[in-house]
Structure 1
Amino acid sequence: MDEELNESLWVRIKGSTATGDIIAGVYYRPPDQGDQADEALYRQTGAASRSQALVLMGDFNHPHICWRDNTAEHKQPRKFLECVDDNFLLQVIEDPTRRGAMLDLVLTNKEGLVGDIKLKGSLGCSDHEMVEFRILRAVRRAHSKLTTLDFRRADFGLFRDLLGRIPWDKALEGRGAQESWLVFKGHLLQAQERCIPTKRKSSKNTKRPPRMNKELLDKVKQKMKPTEGGSKGR
Structure 2
Amino acid sequence: MRLCNINGISSKSDEVKIFCSGNDLIGLTETKDRPGLPDKMFRDGRSFNVFRRARVGRAGGGVALVVKKHLAGKRRSDLERAEFEFVAVEVSAVNIIVGVFCGAPDEISEVLPKFLKHLSKILTENDSQRFLLMGDFNCPKINWHSLKSNVAYEQCLLKFLKEFNLKQIVLLPTRKSNTLDLIIVPTKWYINSVNVVSPPASTNDHDGLSVVLCLPKIKSIEPQKIVWKFLPENIMPFRSALFEVDWKVILRDKKCSEMTLLIENEIISKALQFFNKVRLKPKRFSCSFPLSLKRAIRRRDTAHRRYVRATNEDCKNRLRGVWKTYSKTCDLSIRNFMNRKLQDIATASRQNPKKFWSYVRKSVDKQGMPILRCGDQIASTDEEKAEALNTHYSSALISCMSHCSDSVVTCKTPVSVENFVNETDIWEALKLVDISKSIGPFEFSNELIKICGSALIAPLKILFNCCLSDRKFQRLGKYHILRRCQSSRVTLRFLKVGDR
TM-score, normalised with respect to structure 2: 0.25
Q: Does residue 137 in structure 1 map to residue 246 in structure 2?
A: no
CA distance in 1, matches of 2:214, 2:118: 23
Q: Any conservation in 2 of the 1:28–1:59 contact (CA below 8 Å)?
A: yes
* 1:33 aligned to which of 99, 107, 127: 107
Aligned equivalent of 1:22, options 96, 109, 128: 96
CA distance in 1, matches of 2:174, 2:92: 30
CA RMSD of superposed structures (Å): 2.4
**Shift in alpha-carbon separation, 1:70–1:85, aligned structure 2, 3 A:** same
Structure with higher RCO (Cα < 8 A, 6+ apart): 1
User: 1:75-154 alignment to 2 at 5 Å?
Assistant: 75-124=152-201, 125-138=203-216
**2:131 is aligned with 1:57:** no
Contact 1:90–1:111 under 8 Å retained in 2: no
Q: Aligned letter for 2:211?
A: F
CA offsets 1:110-142 (integer angstroms, 9 cap, x no match)? 422543221112221111111111343346xxx
| Structure 1 residue 30: Cα displacement | 1.2
Partner residue of 2:86?
A: 8
Aligned residue-pair number: 135
Instruction: Confirm or deny: 8 A CA contact 2:113 2:153 kept in the other structure.
Output: no
Gaps spanning 5+ residues in structure 2: where?
A: 1-55, 58-80, 218-500
Cα-to-partner distance string for 1:144-188 (whole Å, 9 max, x where unaligned): xxxxxxxxxxxxxxxxxxxxxxxxxxxxxxxxxxxxxxxxxxxxx
CA contact (8 A) 1:4 1:40 kept: no
TM-score where L is the length of structure 1 = 0.52
| Structure 2 counterpart of 1:181 | none
Counterpart-to-counterpart distance in 2, 1:138 and 1:34: 33
2:97–2:130 Cα contact (<8 Å) kept? yes
Q: Give the Cα–Cα distance (whole angstroms) in 1 for the partners of residues 93 and 205 of structure 2.
A: 35
Deviation at 1:48, TM superposition (A): 4.0
Give the structure 2 partner of residue 73 of structure 1: 150
AA aligned opposite 1:128:
H
Distance apart, 1:37 and its partner CA: 2.5
CA contact (8 A) 1:7 1:29 kept: yes
**Retained in 2: the 8 A contact 1:118–1:133?**
yes
Question: Comparing 100-109 with 40-49, which one deviates more in the overlay?
Answer: 40-49
CA distance in 2, matches of 1:14, 1:113: 20
| Residue in 1 that maps onto 2:406 | none
Distance in 1 separating the partners of 2:145 and 2:186: 18
Give the aligned partner of residue 47 of structure 1.
121
Letter in 1 for 2:153: Q
Corresponding residue for 1:229? none
Percent sequence identity over aligned pairs = 21
